Amino acid sequence: MSISENIAEIRRQIAEAAEASGRRGEDIILVGASKMNDAAACQEAIAAGIDVLGENRVQEMVAKLEQDAYRGRPLHFIGHLQRNKVKQVVGKVDLIQSVGSVELLAEIEKVAARLDLVQDVLLEVNIGGEEAKSGFDPDAVYAAAELALTMPHVRVRGLMTIPPVEKEPHGNLPFFEKVYALYVDINGKLYDNKWEYISMGMSGDFADAIRAGSNMIRVGTAVFGARNYTK
C-alpha cells in the first residue's frame, strides 16, 4: 500500500469514529509521525493531504528541515525534549506537543523570550502513571497550566497523552476518557474554553481516542509503513 492509499484508509476510519462521537472527519487533525522516514516520504504524505508532520528527535528534525521535508504543512515536535535541545526547537515548530515538566516549560519561556516570539505548546499528561514515561501526573497538570498563564512567551493550546502500551483491544479507552475529562475541566476552569487541541491516539488506537474526544491523532506506522530499525 502506498502512503496515499494508507492516508485514504485512515481518513475513512477517522470519519467513522468522528461520526460516532457526533463530529465530522474534518474536525480531526491527522499528524503524520514521520520519525525514521525521509524527506521524500514526508513530501509524499503532504501531497496526499496529511494535515501536519510530527517529529520526535531533534537531530533528525533539524536535518530534515534543511532538506525542506515539511514544506507546505505545519510541523510539530512530539517527542521527549531535553532542556539542552530546546533552542533547536523553539520557533522552528508550530507546536511543541510534549511539554511534561515545569523545568521544560520554563526553558521554553526563556528561549522564546530571547527570540521575541510566543511558542504554542501542549502539556503532556502521563495518564498511566508510568515511571519511565515523561509527562505531568494528572493532578499536576492544573498547576502547570496555571503556571504557564504567567509566561508571556508560552501559549498552552491543550493536552497530549501517550497511554501505556495497549495489552488488549480497547485497553486504552479508559485512559483516553480520563484525559478528555481533564481537558474539559482545565480548559473551563483556567483557559476560558479557548483550548483547541487534545492530541491522543496512534496507529493502533486512534479510533478509540477519537471516540473519547480526541481531535488530533499522531499516526506513524499506519501512514508510512513499519519503521526499519536496522537501518
Among 3, 53, 145, 162, indicate the residue that binds ligand PLP (CB under 6 A).
162
Of the pair 90, 100, the CB lying nearest ligand PLP is at 100
CA atoms within 13 A on the CB side of 103: 7
* 7 contacts ligand PLP (rule: CB under 6 A): no
DSSP label at residue 25: G
Residue with cell 524527506: 39
* 202 contacts ligand PLP (rule: CB under 6 A): yes
Of the pair 101, 203, the CB lying nearest ligand PLP is at 203
Minimum CB–partner distance for residue 27 and ligand PLP (Å): 19
Of the pair 167, 192, the CB lying nearest ligand PLP is at 167
Q: Cβ contacts of residue 13 below 8 Å, gap of 6+?
A: 206, 207
* 88 contacts ligand PLP (rule: CB under 6 A): no
Q: Which candidate, 142, 90, 89, 139, places its Cα nearest to that of 118?
A: 90
As a dihedral over the C-alpha atoms of residue 203, residue 35, residue 72, residue 19, rounded to 10 degrees, the angle is 10
H-run or E-run covering 80: none
3-state SS, one letter per residue, for 32-47: EECCCCCHHHHHHHHH
Interface of this chain with ligand PLP, residues 43 to 62, rule: CB under 6 A: 56
The C-alpha cell that represents 198 in the structure block: 487534545
Find the residue with minimal CB distance to ligand PLP: 220
Query: What is the spatial distance between Cα 95 and Cα 117, in angstroms, rounded to a whole number?
Result: 13
Of the pair 211, 218, the CB lying nearest ligand PLP is at 218
Interface of this chain with ligand PLP, residues 66 to 85, rule: CB under 6 A: 78-79
* 64 contacts ligand PLP (rule: CB under 6 A): no
Q: Which stretch binds ligand PLP (CB under 6 A): 16-24, 87-95, 182-190, 201-209?
A: 201-209
Contacting residues toward ligand PLP, per CB under 6 A: 33, 35, 56, 78-79, 162, 202-204, 218-222
